[in-house]
Structure 1
C-alpha cells in the first residue's frame, strides 16, 4: 500500500520535475553559449555537489572547496545562474499548483478550504437567519492594502520576463513531445530565457517613490480590474440567494487600498506633490479603463433600432444634444454609450487636468459622482434585459458596471500615515504660532486632551494666510491639504483613513484630528452638531506595551465628547490598526502573536460596551516574522467578534507579485480573504467554548516565558547588536535599491530603531530566520516541564484551536527554511570569538529546543508534515541556495576585509536577490 502511494506521489510530481529539468536545461544552454564552456562546467560542478550535499552524500566543504578563491568575474555569472535557477523553479512550482488544483476539480472532489465554494457549504449547513446575517455583515468590507514596504527584489523587467515564460510554459503542457506547436513554444521560451540572462538582475539606482506608485498601479491592469469586480458580483449574488430578505452587500465587499504615496512614516520622500501624483495616477487608471471599455462596448452593442426596441431612458441618452445626430442614427445603444463616454471624458479632463486615451470631447457636462455614471449604465442594462438580450447585458457591460461600482473615480483608497512624534511636534508649533499655548509638549495628558478638544470644537483656524512655520510643520500641513484636494476631486473614498504610527494616548489621536481640521478635511460643524470628517482617525498599536494598552487607549478616546461625535459621524465605526512587525521585533514571535490576539479580545469588549462597530486593520508583512503566512488561516485564527464582516490587511513586498501578478492567483487569494472573513464572521471558528479563559491564561504564561527568552538574547545579551551586524548582511540590505524608504527610522544602530524589513530580511539571508521562532521552544519546554498531562493539553489545543495551530504551523514553515549549518558560516564573520560562541550557541540550542517541542506537541517529526507542497518546494530549490549562501559569506568577508570594489559589492547584492527569490517570503 505504501509503495503504491509512493508511486502515485512520484507520478504526481513528475510534471514538476520535468518542467524544472527543461527550464534548467534551457538556462544552461544560454549560459554555455554566452559565458563559455568553462563557466558552464563550473556551474554544473557546483550544482551537482550542492545536490549531493542535500542528499548527505558529501559535506558542505565540497561546495566550499570549489568556490574557494574564485575570481569575482567568474563568481558573478555563477551567482546569476543560481539566482535564475531558483526563479525558474518558482515558476515551475506555480504551474504545478495549478495542475494539482485542476486535477482536484476534475476528480469531482469536495471544494478545498479557503475557496468560496467550501465556505458556502459551511454556511448552508449552519442554517443562519436573515436577521443575524444582515446584522453581522452590515458595512461588510474586505480590503487588501498594497504598501510600499519593499522586499520585492526583482526588477520589473525580470518580473515581466518571468510572466511571459509562465504563459508559454502553461501552453506547452498541452502538447506532446513531437508536436510542432510545442517545438515553437520551446523556441519562444528559449528566447525569453536568453533575454533574462542578458538582463541585469539588480537596479543601479534606488527606486523612487514615483516608481513605487507606478509599480503598485500596474496590478490593476494586469489582474485586479478584471478579478475584483467579478468576485464582488459573484459573492453578492451567492449571499443574496441564500438570505434574500437581508439585502446584503449594498456596497461591494472587496474594495482595495494603498499606502504608496500616503505613508510618510520615516519616508521623507512623501510630499504634497507625491500625494497628488498618487491619487491622480490612480484615478487616471480608472478613467482610462472605463473609457477603453466604453469604446469596445460601442462596437459590441451596435444593435439596430430596426431590430430591437429600447427604453425611454436609453432613447434620451441616445438623443443627447451634444451628439452628432447624423452619426449611427439607427444604433441607439451605440449612441447612448457615446453619450456616456463624452460625459465621462469631460469628468476625467476636469479631474485630471489633461486628456487621456479614448477621450470623446463633445463639450458634455461632467458627471458629478460615480453613481451618476452607474445610473446611465444601469439604464442601458435594463433596456437590454427588457428586450430579452440578457446575454449581452451579462458580458462586457456587466463588467464595466461592477468596475464603476467598485472603483468609482478614485480606483483605490490612499491611506495617510505618520508617526505620533511628528504630530506632536507639528501641533505644538501650530498652537504656539496661534498663541493658544507656548509649550504644548510640556502639558500632561489630561490638559492636552482638554486643549485639543476645545480646538476641534471651534470653527476658528489656528493659522492665517501669513503664518510662518518650520519645514516639518509646513510639509505636514501641505500633505493634508493635498489629501483634501484629492477628496474634493475624486470623492471621499480617495483618502479614507489617517493612521497614527506609535499611537500611545488619546492626545495622539486628537492631534491627528486637529491636523485634519487645519488641512480642511475635518469640519467642526455647528455647536449643537459637532465635528465630522470623511477621513477616519486610525490608531496603530505596534509595540507589545502599546498593544496591551490599546483597548484602554481606545476606551479613553471614546469617553471624550468631541471624539464620540467624530465616531458617530463615521457611522459609529472605529478602525484600529495592529502592527505585526514591530511587536515581533520588540517581544519575539510567540509573544507578539499572543499580544495581538489579546489586544483584539480587549478591543472587541471596548467596542461592544461603547456600541460601536470595530474594524481591525492588520499590518501583516510577507514573512512570518512580520505577520505572514496563509491569509485564510490567519483570519480564522482571530478571536470571536474580531472580524464581524470587516477586514483590512496590508499586502507587502514580494507577496504582492506572488498573489496578484496572474489572474488565477489573484482570484484565489482574494477569494480566500473573503472566505475567511465570512467564516470568521458567521461561524464559531475559535472552538474553545467554555475552555476559552483557561486557554487564554495558558497563553499568557507561555507568552511571558517566550518574551523572557527572546529578551535575554536580543535586549540583554551584551554585544548582541554587534553580533547581528557582523553575522548578517544588514548593512548591505540598505544598498539593495529595493525601495524608496530608508532602512532605519533614525540614524542609529539600535535594534529598536531598525525597520522590521531589514531586521527580518537579514536573518533570512543568513538562514537563521530568528524572528519567526526564537523563544517559543523555551516557553513550551519550561511550561511542560516533563509533565505528560501538560504536553497533552498543548496537543489538544493544537488540534482544537485555530490560533495555536496557525502559530505552530507558521513557525514550522520558517524553521524548515532555516539552516543552522549555513548560519554557522555567517557566525564565523563575527570577529569576537567569545561573543560568536555565546550568541550562536544560544541560537542553536533554542532552534533544537523549538523543533523538539514542535514534534512533541504535533506528533510529527517532520516540520512540514502538514504542508507537503512546501516540503516539496524546499526539496526542489534548496540545493540552489547552497552556493548562493556560501558565495555571500565569502564576499562579505572580502568586503569587510577591505576589498570594497564595485564588483564585490555587486556580487553581494546579487546573492541577496537570489536568496530572497528562493525564500520567497523573505522580508
Structure 2
C-alpha cells in the first residue's frame, strides 16, 4: 500500500476540506445529512480510485465511461492491464452502490432519531412504544394485552438460499464504514480528530477496494454457517434483550401498576446446515457440525458477558448486605465448584463476584464438553441446560432487587439472563428441510424392508398408500434394536435421509433440547406426504409414549408452494388433522399446527397478483378451519428478498395479512442480502427486530377490529376476477413456445451458476427446464435483464379486462379497493415500484442476444405491450401522474443508481455476447470475471438478487 503522504494534493488539502465540511453533519436535517454523507463517500471513493487506478476515477465521475469500457472489452481484452482496469471499473461501481446503501441506512437511523427527539419515543413508527400507546389510548384492557403477550412468538429464520453476493470480509468492511459515519455525527471532535476520522474512513474504503468481491470457490456449508453466525456476534445477541426491555418499558408507561409476564417471544431460527432440499452438500455430519458451532457461539458469547459482569459487580458485603437466600445459593455454588476456598479468598467479601466466578467455572466446563462433544459422556460440572444457567443468573438478579438495586439488576444482569433464555445453548433453532420426492423414496425403501416383498409399493397418491402409513403409525413403537436392523437394511441414500431424523434424537440431548425447530416438508401435495414424515420420525425414535398413546416430538410443517397446493390447503389440513396421532402430537407440542406458505414458487407458478391473492385466501381459509377444529393454525412465511418473492416492507406486509391470521405467532424466512441489509449494523438490527415484533403484536391486537381487513364480498369477488385474469395472461406468456430459449439467451441465467453465492445448486435433481428451475435464479435473471416481469406481468391485462366488463363501476370499485383494501393496495404499490425499475430500451438490447428473430420479436413485443398497458392501468387505479411519484424516497434512491445501473447493464450485454462467442477457453476466462462482477454490480444497485 502506498503511504498516504504520497497520494498527492487530495490526500492533504482535499481530505482536510472534507473533514472541515463534515463538521456540519451533526446539525443537518436527515435529508441534508444524506446528501452530505453521499458527497463525502463519493469524494473518498474517487480519491482512492485516483490513487489506485486513475481511469476508474473518470468512469466513476461519468466521464466517457461507456466508451472507455467498450474499448477495453472489444480491443484490449488480451492485455492483462486492460482486464484489470475493466474489473476495477465494475468493482468500483459495485462499491459505490454499497456505499450508497450504507449512507441511506445511516440516514434512516438519523431520521428515526429526529422523530423521537421532536415527538417522543411513542411517536416513532414501528416501535413498541407507539403500538402500546395507541392500544392503551383505544381503551384495550390490560388483560387483553396480557393474553396477546402470552401467545406472542416471533421467529425470523435465516436461510442459506444463494442470494447473498457479498462475502463476510466485505460485510465487515461495510460495518466499519457505517460505524465511522456514526462517529462523524458527533459534534465533540476537534478539527484534528475529525481529520483523523475522515482519514480512517478513507482507509476503510481503500481496504474494501483491495478486498476480493467475488468468491473464487463455491462456499461450503460450514462457511455459510459462519456467515449466519457473524450477524449474531455483531448485533443480534444484544438486540433481543434490548427489544424485551423496550416492550417492558412501553407497558410500564402505558399501563402503570399492571403486571405483565414477559415470555421469550423473539427467537431466531435457521435453515443453514439443516436444509437438504436440493442441496447434496448437507448431510448428517454437516448438520452435527452446525449444531456444535451454534452451541459454541452461544456459550462463548455468555462467557464474554459473564467476564464483563464479574468485572463490574465488585460490590462488597459491607456496602450491600445480601439476603440469606443468596448466601445459601452462593454456598451451594461454591461447594459445587470444588474450589470454595480459592474462589472465596480471591474475592473476599465480594459475594456477587464469587457467585459469578462459580458460574464461569461451570460455563467453562460446558464449553470444554462442547469442544470434545464427540467423545465420552458430559463433564459432570457442566451445565445440563440453558435453564440452569438462567436460574443461576436469576439468583443474582433477585438478590440485587432485594437490596433495592433495581437498576443494576435491570441493566446489568437481566439482559444477560434474557440472552440465555432466548438463545439458549443453540443460538438458533435449526429447522430440517427435505422435499416430498426424497422422503417418498425413503418411505418406499422402508415399505420394502417392512413388508418383506419384492413387489412395488402402492402409488403415493393412492388410498392403499395412506392406509399403510396410518397402519404403521398405529402400531406400538418397536425396540431400538429392531429399528436399527431395519435402518441398516436400507440403501445408502435412503438410510441417510432416515439418519437425519435419528440425529435429532441424539443432538437434542447433546446440544440443547430446543436445538431443533421443525421439519419442513417442501412441495407438500397431500396429507399422506406429511404422514410419511411422521412415520420416518417414529422409525427414528422421535415418538414419546405418554399413558400408552404415542405422539411425535418433532413438529412437522407442510410447505405449500404452488398455487394448486395453496388452493388445496384446507383439504390437506382437514385430512391431516383427522388423524388422532397428529392431533395428539399437536397438543403435546403446544396446540399449534404450523403451515409454511411459499411466496417464491407461487409467484413463479402464477405471477405476482395471483400469488398474493392465493396466499391471502389460503390463510383466511386455514384460519377458519383451525377455528372449526379447535386447532391453532400458525403461518410460516417463505419470503425472499425481491418483491417477486414476497420481499415487501415487513410492517406493511404484516399489516395486510388477513384478520386474525397472525394471533401472535409469526415466522418468516430472511434470505441472503435481506439478512445483511437488516442485521449487519447495530442500529438497523435493533430497528428491524422491533419493527417485526411490534407489527405482529399490533396485528394481533387490532386486526379483527380494523375495517381495512374485514372481508368484503365485492372486494373478494373483484380480487378473484383480477387474480384469475392475471394468472391466465402470465401463464400464457411463460408457457409459449420458445420461452426457455429466449430466457436463456436474453438473460445471464446460465452464467449465474458461476457466481459462487451459495452451496446449493440452482436446479432440483439436475433438471434443465423452466418447471424445475428454482424460483431464485428465475427472479434473479429477469431482474438482471431489466425485464423484472416476475413483479408485474399480467396485472395490466387483468385490470384492462376487468374494466372492459364493468366499465366505470369497475373503475370506481378498484379505486375504493386501492383506498380501503390493504392487500390490493400492497400489490398495486409494489407493482408500481417494480415497473419503475424496468428499462425497456435496455431490455430490448438483452433481447438482441436471442438468435432466433421470430422468438425474439414475438416474446419481446409481448413484454413491451404488457408493460405499457400495466403502467397505464396502474396509473388509472392510483391516479398518479408518473411512476414512483407516490414514493419519493424510493424514487430518489432509484434515481441515484439508475444511470450507473444502465451503464453496467449495457456492459453486461456486451460481455455476455463476447463470453458466449469466445473461440478459446482463454478468451472465455478473460471475460468471465468482468461478467460476474457486472452481475454483482446490478444486484447491488437494485439491492436484491433473487
Select the residue among 456, 459, 481 that pairs with 2:477: 459
Aligned residue in 1 for 2:51: 33
> Which whole-Å CA distance do the structure 2 matches of 1:670 and 1:237 have between them?
16
Q: Tell me how far 1:897 sits from its aligned partner.
A: 1.2
Q: Does 1:379 align with 2:402?
A: no
> Counterparts of 1:449 and 1:436 in 2: how far apart (Å)?
18
User: Are the counterparts in 2 of residues 317 and 335 from structure 1 also a CA contact under 8 Å?
Assistant: no
The answer for the alignment partner of 2:848 in structure 1 is 828
SS of corresponding position for 1:540: strand
CA distance in 2, matches of 1:372, 1:12: 47
Matched, 1:770 2:775: no
The structural deviation recorded for 1:508 is: 0.6
Contact 1:315 1:336 in 2 (8 A): no
Confirm or deny that 1:511 pairs with 2:532: yes
Deviation at 1:573, TM superposition (A): 1.1
Aligned to 1:906: 929
Find 1:279's aligned residue among 291, 297, 304.
291
Q: Which residue of 2 aligns with 1:473?
A: 494
The residue number in structure 2 matching 1:290 is 302
**Aligned-residue CA RMSD (Å):** 2.4
| Residues 154 and 265, structure 2, Cα contact 8 Å, conserved in 1 | yes
CA contact (8 A) 2:652 2:826 kept: yes
1:703-782 correspondence to structure 2 within 5 Å: 703-715=723-735, 717-782=736-801
Match for residue 447 of structure 1? 464
Which one of 16, 32, 36 corresponds to residue 18 of structure 1?
Answer: 36
For residue 358 of structure 1, what is the aligned residue in structure 2?
A: none
Change (3 A) 1:84 1:367: closer
Is the 1:417–1:498 contact (alpha carbons within 8 Å) kept by the matching residues of 2?
Answer: yes
Would the aligned equivalents of 1:236 and 1:249 in 2 still touch at CA under 8 Å? no
Distance 1:363 1:565, change over 3 A: closer
Q: Distance in 2 between matches of 1:635 and 1:794?
A: 22
Of 447-456 and 285-294, the range deviating more from structure 2: 447-456
Further displaced range: 757-766 or 62-71: 62-71
- Structure 1 residues 99, 815: CA separation in 2 closer, same or farther (over 3 Å shift)? same
1:118 matches 2:130? yes
Taking the aligned partners of 1:605 and 1:844, their CA distance within structure 2 comes to 42
What TM-score do the two structures reach when normalised by structure 1?
0.92
Q: 2:519: which partner in 1? A: 498
Query: Would you say the 8 A contact 2:160–2:272 is kept in 1?
Result: yes
Among 419, 437, 440, which residue is 1:403 paired with? 419
2:896 to 876, 887, 895: 876
Counterpart Cα distance in 2 of 1:232 and 1:159: 27
Measure how far apart 1:257 and its partner are.
Answer: 0.5
319-328 or 627-636: bigger deviation: 319-328
* 2:636 matched residue in structure 1: 617
- 8 A Cα contact 2:522 2:559, kept in partner: yes
Alpha-carbon shift at residue 478 of structure 1 (Å): 1.8
CA deviations on 1:157-210 (whole Å, 9 max, x unpaired) are 222112212211222243599922221111112211111222221011011111
Matches within 5 A, 1:107-506: 107-108=118-119, 111-174=123-186, 179-236=191-248, 238-239=250-251, 251-319=263-331, 320-321=334-335, 322-325=338-341, 326-353=345-372, 365-435=381-451, 438-442=455-459, 445-457=462-474, 458-460=476-478, 463-465=483-485, 467-506=488-527
| Cα distance in 2, alignment partners of residues 216 and 690 from structure 1 | 39
The C-alpha deviation readout for 1:32-90, integer Å capped at 9, x for no partner, is 2222x44544554xx1468xxxxxxxxxx989977773533142222122112222222
Alignment of 1:574-585 (within 5 A): 574-585=593-604
1:117: how far off?
2.3
The aligned counterpart of 2:941 is 918
| Cα pair distance change 1:323/1:297, threshold 3 Å | farther
**Conserved 8 A contact 1:590-1:807:** yes
| Contact in 1 for aligned 2:133/2:254 (Cα 8 Å) | no
Contact 2:128 2:250 in 1 (8 A): no
The worse-fitting range, judged by mean Cα deviation, of 390-399 and 133-142 is: 133-142
Secondary structure at 1:385 match in 2: helix
C-alpha displacement at 1:446, in angstroms?
Answer: 2.6
Which whole-Å CA distance do the structure 2 matches of 1:204 and 1:888 have between them?
20
Relative distance call for 1:683 and 1:42 in structure 2 (3 A) is: closer
Q: Give yes or no for contact 1:585–1:752 (8 Å, CA) kept in 2.
A: no
Query: Does structure 1 retain, via aligned residues, the 8 Å contact 2:133–2:250?
Result: no
SS at match of 1:15: helix
> Equivalents in 2 of 1:502, 1:601: separation in Å?
21
Note the residue ranges of structure 1 that are not aligned, 5 or more in a row: 1-9, 51-60, 356-361
Q: Which residue number corresponds to residue 681 of structure 2?
A: 662
Counterpart position of 1:71:
76
User: Scaled by the length of structure 2, what TM-score is found?
Assistant: 0.90
The 8 Å contact of residues 521 and 533 in structure 1, kept in 2 or not, is answered as yes
Measure the CA separation in 2 of the matches of 1:586 and 1:701.
17
- 1:140–1:249 contact (8 Å) kept in structure 2: no
SS at match of 2:215: coil
Out of 872, 879, 897, the position equivalent to 2:917 is 897
| Aligned counterparts of 2:136 and 2:29: Cα–Cα separation in 1 | 37
In the aligned structure 1, how far is the partner of 2:56 from the partner of 2:318?
73
In structure 2, distance between residues paired with 1:400 and 1:137: 21
Aligned residues: 892
Change over 3 Å in CA distance of 1:38–1:738 after alignment to 2: closer
Query: How far apart are 1:396 and its partner, in Å?
Result: 2.2
Task: Give the Cα–Cα distance (whole angstroms) in 2 for the partners of residues 760 and 372 of structure 1.
Answer: 47
**Structure 2 counterpart of 1:7:** none
Deviation of the 1:529 alpha carbon: 4.0
Is the aligned partner of 1:604 residue 2:618? Answer: no
Q: Show the counterpart of 1:522.
A: 543
* Structure 2: tracts of 5 or more residues without a match: 1-27, 78-82
Deviation at 1:245, TM superposition (A): 10
Q: Are the equivalent residues in 2 in contact too, given 1:137–1:644 (CA < 8 A)?
A: no
- Alpha-carbon distance in 1 for matches of 2:708, 2:239: 36
Q: Give me the whole-angstrom Cα distance separating, in 2, the residues matched to 1:852 and 1:866.
A: 15
After superposition, the C-alpha distances for 1:237-258 in whole angstroms (9 at most, x for unaligned) are: 5447767999755521111110
